[in-house]
Amino acid sequence: MTCHYFIATMRPIEEFHINGQDYPFISGEDYKKELPLSLPYVYEYGSEDSVFITFLDEFMEFGDVVEFYIYEEGKRGRPLSVNLPEEARTINLLKKTYKNENGEYRLDESNWKEELARKTIASKRSITTFVKY
C-alpha cells in the first residue's frame, strides 16, 4: 500500500521555489483524475504537519482556498481512499477555526499552529479545505 498526500491550490506554488524557499512539493498531475480535488493546481506533498501549516499560512492570501487529501493505493494501483463529504474538515487560517462533522472550534491565538498540528488535518476519507477569509 502506498500513501500520497495531495494539495490543490488556486494558483501555482512555483514562486516559493524561486524565492529560495524549500517546500517539499512535486507535481500531482499524474493522479489528478483519480482525486476528488476541485482546484486546478495539484501537488504531492511530503512533510510534517507543523511545516505544512507554516507553509500554508505564508502562501495563502486573503480569499485563497487550498484542498488537502490523502490518497492510498492498494494492490495493482486500486484506490483505497474514498471521499465522504460529511466527514470533511474546514480550517480557516484567518479566523483560526477548525470545523469538522462535530462542530466548529476556535483555536488559541497564541499557539494556534501547534494546536492545529495536534488535530487531524488530513484524511483518506474526506477533503480538508483550508480557507483564508
Q: What percent of the chain has pLDDT over 90?
A: 44
Q: What is the pLDDT of residue 64?
A: 96
Note the pLDDT tens digit of each residue in 72-115.
Answer: 887 776 777 888 889 999 999 999 999 999 999 999 999 999 99
Decide: 71 and 127 in contact? Cβ < 8 Å: no
Of the pLDDT bands very low, low, confident and very high (cuts 50, 70, 90), residue 121 is confident
CA distance 63 to 109: 20
The DSSP element (H or E) to which 51 belongs, if any, is helix 49-59
Q: What is the pLDDT of residue 17?
A: 60
Q: Pick 37 or 77 by higher pLDDT.
A: 37
Average pLDDT, the chain: 86
Decide: 67 and 60 in contact? Cβ < 8 Å: no
Burial group, residue 116, by CB count within 10 angstroms (0-12, 13-18, 19+): buried
C-alpha cell at 95: 479566523
Mean pLDDT to the nearest integer, 43-47? 80
Tell me the whole-structure pTM to 2 decimals.
Answer: 0.87
Q: What is the pLDDT of residue 3?
A: 84
CA distance 7 to 19: 20
CB atoms within 10 A of CB 88: 17
C-alpha cell at 79: 484506490
